[in-house]
Structure 1
Amino acid sequence: MIKPRALSGFPEYLPAQQLAFNRVLSLIRSTYEAHGFTPIETPSVEHRDVLTAKGADDAEIYALTRLNAGPDERDTDLALHFDLSVPLARYVAQHESQLVFPFQRSQIQKVWRGERPQAGRYREFYQADIDVIGRGSLSLLYDAVLPAVVSDALTRLNIGPFCIRLNNRQVLQGYFESLGLAPVAVPQALRILDRLEKVGIDRVRQDFTTLGVSPDTLTPFLDLVTSNLASDALLSELAGQARNALFDRGVTELHVVLSGLRDLGVPEANFQVDLSIARGLGYYTGTVYETKLLNFPGLGSICSGGRYENLVGHFHTGTFPGVGLSIGVSRFVPALLEAGVLSARTSTTAQVLVTLLQPEHQGESLRLGAELRSQGVSTEVYLEPHRLGQQLRYADRKGFRLAVMVGDTELQAGQVRVKDLQTGEESLLSRAQWALGIWQRLSNAR
């Protein structure tokens, strides 16, 4: 006998937890669609050269082979996608003549990444992406639209206060170039700064010395990075420095994005300019984002992304600037389930359980279930010949709202007995109008 065991880093939920997870996905999906983002789905498997086109770490990519593959198939050309951005770039390049630009796309799928499993980080996980891609050009205001959509989604999830922290890579690149760093050294400087929260300010100062930058030179900027200045005050400080054209352009773009967020009605508490946000991925060129749940700081960023000028460039000669954000659903849902922020009290999608009091009434129970479903009420019919008490315990454990009972007495009287499983109250409804009555009762309780 094989011992049942799950793979580390591949989450698996009990029914109530899975239903809670699905509700999160459903709400995010409906929010994206309410803002006009068109859902797409790309294959889980891509050609290896597609996935590595943007410099992804080969060690994190799962190759795909058959168990009985021949010697010529061992070095497979296929792999599981590790994010949804690279497949999107391939999709746009392949279908650009059939797409309407600006192309507003949403995509909620599993991805696979071969990294060390730990709290909030898995080898198999869901991402919920939105991107807007233009052809030739793309308005900077889309850099405000995307965090506004995410703010709407996180607010609707009702999972506590959050802050979308934003920055502009041009500010950082312009600053580091003004210190005399060669352009080829700037990506390393960005990676050092991006680790600030993980390693602390002293380690960041030390790491910058490896690039030939003295701590004293960095002090004024790092003081701004670690300050608690409000967004407008921080931008005013930056505007006063005027280091070079790239730096100034980044500051100007941050002003535009902040103005757009306010015009879109995003509450001030939900966003903040943060100069420590750098994003390590090399294809980001402008606005960058990271998002924290304020009551769960240990989770790290639950939503990140940014502006890219030509992510499609490896697959097409045209220019397709874009901006994207990804909510890491698998990162925060388990922690919020454990904390009780997300409810996992029910393990059924049905609201009503039709019981079976006597085997000879099985046909009637099935008809009752069909009638309820025709009224739009999700319903399960219990078909095992168990005692009523056992059926009600089953209903209680799964979290049904109502139980329906019909025996000889109810049939003779032309009635249906309904029990509210939350209050314990029972009532009799006319057999002619009972289904509508239950629908109205459930509707009023919402």
Structure 2
Amino acid sequence: MSVKIAPLSGFPEWLPAERVVEQLFLDVIRETFELHGFVSVETRAVEPVSRLVGKGGDADKEIYGVHRLAGDADGGSATDPDAEAGDPDKALGLHFDLTVPFSRYVLENAGKLTFPFRRYQIQKVWRGERPQEGRFREFTQCDIDIVDAGSLAAHYEAEMPLVIADVFSKLPIGEYRIQVNNRKIPEGFYLGLGLTDVVGTLRIVDKLDKIGPEGVTELLAEAGATDEQIGQCLALAEISSTDTSFADRVRALGVSHPTLDEGLAELTAVMEAAMAQRPGVLVADLRVARGLDYYTGTVYETQLVGQESYGSICSGGRYDALASDGRTTYPGVGISIGLSRLLARLVSTGVVRASRPTPTCVVVALGVEEDRSRAMAVAAELRGRGIATEIAPSAAKFGKQIKFADRRSIPFVWFLGADGASDSVKDIRSGEQVDAEAATWTPPAEDLRPSLERVEA
């Protein structure tokens, strides 16, 4: 009986050529994070549901629960073998981001960590949302965070987007824009307007790019805001600048509140630091709010220029109260590249590709099967010198083996010398063939490994 295989939407699986692109991106990201002094950690895939809920705004309803298919023989819980039946504190869920599990990791290991602690984390996360372009139910995030004990210096909030700018400068993603805001600005502004449901208002305004001013106006009105308050909220959201002039434009709206003043000062400091290091890389955009509840200060979003409707491909912010053991609070700031989301756009549109879909640089041809041991010795010699090599799957005419290499975009075919003759290697792109020894031959640097290519329309 035949079995029909149906794909699961929202769980991307790359083809080999696409996976090469992903691996090359990961190499750049990992290397750049480490250049900035971040150390790698990995956390478990599951957390107690009680810890996950209430941390992610609307993400609560998207958390995947985890349970065993069968409960204990005595009728115990199917969530955790050690749990008592019905104990909600033992229910497990897959993490929907990497910040919440990282905050728990900090609390559990605080006595073994040196603060300020700089970590990077590259892992899968899961969200049970409706799959659509660029939105998946399983995807890879690449996070960096800096946490400290008791207090966290404000200069780290300027460092986060500068690290990301360094990463993106090495990747062929095209023009991008890192938008930055401070949650205290809209919070103080809304309080100054007399809007007491700050979180609810933030969530509505955060939908501006998705539903437009008309949709936001309708939702704010349903929430009880007056026409004047709605107009002021929209006016604030329209303010953006690549320098510190945003502060004067906010003050010109005539709203005052201590929290607003604090947020303007903090965002001004971030922009000044960024302007000194990488002018123009940051845009103060006061519509950016971020929907996750744990952010308390600076927040970031990043968009591909000309593809703003696609949404953010890198985001994050400051959180002051996510990690606390009752005695010590560990404030932090972090930013995350949505790698699966970014690659989905770049690969699907054909903008980015790998120079070849395999790491193999050389195929050792086999004229007769009896030469396989010699071929294995050549391959071992080349691999020992860092040259990715494979052996032809079976003996065949050399023309057929060249076609095998060509189909896989492998640039070189190695021919074993017969009757004491020297070995030779052929560049199948140019047709050039030269004598070679496995102990000394080296391909051009650009052919040694696959590389990233940007294809302009």
TM-score, normalising length from structure 2?
0.89
Alpha-carbon distance between aligned partners in 2 of 1:381 and 1:362, rounded to the nearest angstrom: 8
Q: Is the 8 A contact 1:208 1:215 kept in 2?
A: no
Alpha-carbon distance between aligned partners in 2 of 1:304 and 1:404, rounded to the nearest angstrom: 47
Matches within 5 A, 1:167-186: 167-182=181-196, 185-186=197-198
Alpha-carbon distance between aligned partners in 2 of 1:18 and 1:284, rounded to the nearest angstrom: 33
Matches within 5 A, 1:308-327: 308-313=319-324, 315-327=325-337
1:128 aligned partner: 142
1:11 aligned partner: 12
1:99 aligned partner: 113
Q: Deviations over 1:199-222 (max 9, x none)?
A: 111222232223433223443552
Taking structure 1 as reference, are residues 80 and 223 closer, same or farther at Cα in structure 2, changes over 3 Å only? closer
1:403 aligned partner: 413
Q: Is the 8 A contact 2:239 2:286 kept in 1?
A: no
Q: Is the 8 A contact 1:167 1:274 kept in 2?
A: yes
2:87 aligned partner: none
Matches within 5 A, 1:131-280: 131-182=145-196, 185-220=197-232, 222-227=234-239, 229-240=241-252, 241=254, 243-263=256-276, 265-268=277-280, 270-280=281-291
Give the superposition deviation at 1:155: 1.5
Alpha-carbon distance between aligned partners in 1 of 2:36 and 2:327, rounded to the nearest angstrom: 30
**Structure with the bigger percentage of helix:** 1
Q: Is the 8 A contact 1:224 1:234 kept in 2?
A: no
Alpha-carbon distance between aligned partners in 1 of 2:97 and 2:118, rounded to the nearest angstrom: 18
1:34 aligned partner: 35
Q: Deviations over 1:21-72 (max 9, x none)?
A: 1111221111111111111001112222232262664431222223344442
Alpha-carbon distance between aligned partners in 1 of 2:65 and 2:278, rounded to the nearest angstrom: 42
Q: Deviations over 1:84-126 (max 9, x none)?
A: 1111011000000110111111000001111111110111100
What count of residue pairs does the alignment treat as equivalent?
434
Give the superposition deviation at 1:142: 0.4
Residues 1:342 and 2:352 are matched in the alignment = yes
Deviates more, 1:321-330 or 1:221-230: 221-230
Alpha-carbon distance between aligned partners in 2 of 1:203 and 1:113, rounded to the nearest angstrom: 25
Taking structure 1 as reference, are residues 175 and 443 closer, same or farther at Cα in structure 2, changes over 3 Å only? closer
Amino acid at match of 1:65: H
Unmatched runs of 5 consecutive residues or more in structure 1? none
Q: Is the 8 A contact 1:357 1:387 kept in 2?
A: yes
Q: Deviations over 1:371-412 (max 9, x none)?
A: 11121212112241233222222211222121111141xx52
Amino acid at match of 1:235: A
Taking structure 1 as reference, are residues 293 and 55 closer, same or farther at Cα in structure 2, changes over 3 Å only? closer
2:76 aligned partner: 72
2:454 aligned partner: none
Taking structure 1 as reference, are residues 180 and 90 closer, same or farther at Cα in structure 2, changes over 3 Å only? same
Q: CA RMSD in A?
A: 2.1
Q: Is the 8 A contact 1:170 1:246 kept in 2?
A: yes
1:438 aligned partner: 442
Taking structure 1 as reference, are residues 271 and 229 closer, same or farther at Cα in structure 2, changes over 3 Å only? closer
Q: Is the 8 A contact 2:296 2:318 kept in 1?
A: yes
Taking structure 1 as reference, are residues 407 and 254 closer, same or farther at Cα in structure 2, changes over 3 Å only? same
Deviates more, 1:347-356 or 1:212-221: 212-221
Taking structure 1 as reference, are residues 80 and 34 closer, same or farther at Cα in structure 2, changes over 3 Å only? same
Unmatched runs of 5 consecutive residues or more in structure 2? 81-90, 450-457
1:307 aligned partner: 318
Taking structure 1 as reference, are residues 394 and 278 closer, same or farther at Cα in structure 2, changes over 3 Å only? same
Q: Is the 8 A contact 2:123 2:142 kept in 1?
A: yes
Taking structure 1 as reference, are residues 60 and 242 closer, same or farther at Cα in structure 2, changes over 3 Å only? closer
Give the superposition deviation at 1:225: 2.5
Amino acid at match of 1:74: A
Taking structure 1 as reference, are residues 83 and 445 closer, same or farther at Cα in structure 2, changes over 3 Å only? closer
TM-score, normalising length from structure 1?
0.92
Q: Is the 8 A contact 2:189 2:255 kept in 1?
A: no
Alpha-carbon distance between aligned partners in 2 of 1:393 and 1:444, rounded to the nearest angstrom: 18
Q: Which of 379, 383, 386 lines up with 2:389 in the alignment?
A: 379
Give the superposition deviation at 1:445: 7.8
For residue 269 of structure 2, give the secondary structure of its aligned residue in structure 1: helix
Give the superposition deviation at 1:368: 0.6
Q: Is the 8 A contact 2:158 2:270 kept in 1?
A: yes
**Percent same amino acid among aligned pairs?**
39
For residue 423 of structure 1, give the secondary structure of its aligned residue in structure 2: coil
